[in-house]
């Protein structure tokens, strides 16, 4: 007998149809068709419009782990400041911000809800056919339907309308569990799309999730190497042009910190050309994690050629006075060091990094 957590037949395909590469590219193409000019200066806004989302447990723009952002925790006041800061930058009221962000995920959700509904109904139909008597159907939650209709003072709903309502409610509350299926690849694709939109980017070739063998100057990877593909690779369309291998991580967890050095070792062993740039692009808000990325070394050199944040000013805004010069320890000390990394150019903004790409 199948366990409770087993996937239904077709569920993986349903997620792939909604969140897969083809649908991501369609949504991005639709967005940039109407987005207007994309420049290094406004690139971060496009990234946030496409990928930033509202944390449903606190109704604020997400900038840190949900359990640490609850009222009474350190990141709740920082989340409030961040939410207001983004709203001001977009020129919208804080209550209206949700309507101006999360485009990629919200655009993919209808396809997911429709596909998952079909999967559930088809799976149920195959088994219900074995019964002669009438059996409850998926979404038959009369108590919840009655709660909604009585609260809204509505007339009783037909059974099929009630089931559709329940399915949509369930999908709404379960959707955050699906976000991880989109965010990682979506960040890579969004960065690539932004670069392609820049008016002076014609001198660069770029690709996402590309094997090293597909990048000039790299040997085919051996089977024993751990890293099979690069999140985002850019190389100039000229002899001995610059080559940039990008690790695109919306956030930086401990397991990802350990992965960075391993990836770099694999890339270095496969390199037969000139030195390449190894760049981290992230939206991490934890000052200690950003400090670790900025100071991580490989041999005598910095591991990352550049550490790039989508919008470091947003991080400084969230930390507020904690990032001001002065005495302190622990998280406050890391926040102060974050400001120092920004001022020294060790931590670049997305704008600065993109200007370096198209400025030659």
Residue, of 91 and 174, whose pLDDT is higher: 91
Q: How many CA atoms lie within 13 A of 119 on its CB side?
A: 17
pLDDT at 234: 97
Give the span between the Cα atoms of 192 and 63, in whole angstroms.
22
Apex CA 103: angle with CA 101 and CA 105, to 5°?
Answer: 115
Which residue stretches of 152-179 are H helix?
159-178
Per-residue tokens: 249: 């991580």
Q: Would you give the distance in Å from CA 334 to the centre of its chain?
A: 24
- CB 85 within 8 Å of CB 315: no
Residue, of 1 and 108, whose pLDDT is higher: 108
Comparing 95-104, 160-169, 270-279, 283-292, which segment has the lowest mean pLDDT? 160-169
Nearest to 19 by CA among 167, 178, 177, 172: 178
Comparing 57-71, 220-234, 257-271, which segment has the lowest mean pLDDT? 220-234
Apex CA 338: angle with CA 335 and CA 341, to 5°?
Answer: 160
C-alpha distances in Å from residue 301, one per residue of 14, 151, 152, 346: 45, 63, 64, 13
Q: Tabulate helix, strand, coil % of the chain (nearest 5).
A: 55, 10, 35
pLDDT at 171: 74
pLDDT at 8: 46
- CB 42 within 8 Å of CB 91: no
Q: Give me the mean pLDDT over the 224-244 stretch.
A: 84
pLDDT at 11: 57
Q: Give me the mean pLDDT over the 90-102 stretch.
A: 98
What is the per-residue pLDDT across 101-149, written as a single tens digit (0 to 9) for each? 999 999 987 766 666 666 667 777 788 888 888 888 777 888 999 999 9
Q: Label residue 281 by pLDDT band (50, 70, 90).
A: very high
> Could you give the dihedral angle defined by the CA atoms of residues 127, 132, 138 and 143, in that order, rounded to the nearest 10 degrees?
-150
Q: Say yes or no to pLDDT of 9 above 50.
A: no
Q: Say yes or no to pLDDT of 26 above 80.
A: yes
pLDDT at 290: 96
Kindly state the percentage of the chain with pLDDT values over 70: 88
Q: Say yes or no to pLDDT of 61 above 60.
A: yes
pLDDT at 13: 67
Nearest to 63 by CA among 333, 351, 296, 287: 287
Report DSSP state, residue 301: E
Sketch out the chain's domains with CATH numbers. 200-358 (3.40.50.10010)
Nearest to 43 by CA among 30, 34, 32: 32
Q: Give me the mean pLDDT over the 176-192 stretch.
A: 90
List, in order, residues 6 or more apart from 254 with CB less than 8 Å away: none
Give the span between the Cα atoms of 62 and 183, in whole angstroms.
13
Per-residue tokens: 295: 């100071």
Q: Label residue 201 by pLDDT band (50, 70, 90).
A: confident
pLDDT at 237: 81
- CB 85 within 8 Å of CB 63: no
Give the span between the Cα atoms of 353 and 74, in whole angstroms.
31
Q: Label residue 327 by pLDDT band (50, 70, 90).
A: low
**Average pLDDT value for the chain:** 87
pLDDT at 14: 61
Q: Say yes or no to pLDDT of 1 above 60.
A: no
Phi, psi of 32 (to 5 degrees): -70, -20
- Render the burial of 181-220: b for 16+ CB within 10 Å, e for the rest: bbbebbbbbbbbbbbebbeebeebbbebebbbeebebbee
């Amino acid at each position: 007998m199948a366990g409770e957590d087993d996937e239904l037949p077709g569920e993986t395909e349903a997620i792939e149809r909604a969140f897969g590469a083809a649908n991501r590219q369609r949504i991005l193409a639709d967005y940039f068709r109407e987005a207007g000019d994309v420049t290094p200066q406004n690139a971060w806004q496009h990234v946030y419009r496409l990928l930033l989302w509202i944390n449903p447990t606190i109704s604020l723009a997400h900038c840190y782990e949900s359990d640490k952002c609850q009222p009474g925790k350190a990141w709740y006041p920082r989340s409030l400041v961040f939410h207001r800061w983004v709203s001001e930058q977009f020129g919208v009221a804080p209550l209206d911000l949700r309507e101006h962000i999360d485009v990629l995920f919200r655009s993919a959700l209808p396809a997911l809800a429709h596909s998952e509904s079909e999967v559930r109904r088809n799976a149920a139909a195959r088994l219900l056919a074995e019964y002669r008597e009438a059996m409850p159907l998926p979404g038959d939650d009369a108590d919840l339907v009655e709660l909604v209709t009585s609260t809204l003072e509505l007339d009783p709903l037909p059974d099929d309308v009630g089931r559709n309502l329940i399915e949509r409610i369930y999908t709404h509350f379960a959707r955050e569990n699906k976000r991880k299926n989109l965010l990682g690849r979506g960040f890579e694709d969004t960065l690539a799309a932004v670069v392609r939109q820049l008016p002076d980017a014609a001198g660069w070739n770029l690709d996402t999730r590309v094997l090293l063998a597909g990048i000039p100057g790299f040997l085919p990877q051996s089977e024993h190497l751990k890293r099979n593909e690069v999140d985002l690779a850019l190389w100039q369309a000229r002899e001995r042009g610059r080559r940039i291998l990008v690790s695109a991580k919306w956030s930086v967890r401990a397991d990802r910190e350990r992965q960075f050095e391993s990836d770099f070792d694999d890339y270095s062993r496969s390199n037969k050309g000139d030195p390449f740039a190894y760049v981290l692009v992230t939206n991490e808000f934890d000052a200690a994690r950003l400090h670790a990325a900025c100071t991580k070394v490989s041999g005598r050199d910095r591991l990352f050629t550049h550490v790039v944040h989508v919008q470091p000013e947003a991080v400084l805004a969230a930390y507020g006075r904690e990032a001001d010069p002065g005495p302190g320890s622990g998280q406050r000390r890391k926040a102060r060091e974050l400001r120092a990394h920004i001022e020294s150019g060790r931590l670049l903004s997305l704008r600065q990094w993109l200007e370096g790409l198209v400025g030659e």
